[in-house]
A = this chain, B = another copy of it.
């Protein structure tokens, strides 16, 4: 199994979720993160002092999928989250060695 971890723009979350659902994916986990990258925050002024916002709000989507679904998952996310503008984010894929469904104790593919 793979853990597909995507960092996307917050307002793209719903589209990403829909894209994954239409692949038959049944679950995913989301967290709020801040991202530092090529996309630079504007220079803002607070009470007359300039500063650059270096961290921008992003959303991290983590979804565990069977190996054969991984490529399509990545592709779906990449399409759904794409705006063509800098700061769209990244997808990272990692290996999962075991997965368990807490409720039933089911393992791996059945756990997802």
Tell me the A residues contacting B by CB distance below 8 Å. Answer: 1-3, 6-8, 17, 26-38, 54-55, 58, 60, 64, 70, 74, 77-78, 81-103, 105, 111-112
Contact = CB atoms under 8 A, between A and B. Distances in A.
Given A26-B38, A102-B78, A103-B86, A94 B33 contact: no
Number of copies: 3
B33 A31 contact: yes
Given A78-B105, A95-B95, 10 more contacts: A3-B92, A30-B36, A64-B90, A74-B98, A88-B101, A88-B102, A89-B102, A90-B112, A91-B99, A94-B97
Contacts of A8: 102
Interface centre among A1, A30, A98 (most CB of B within 10 A): A98
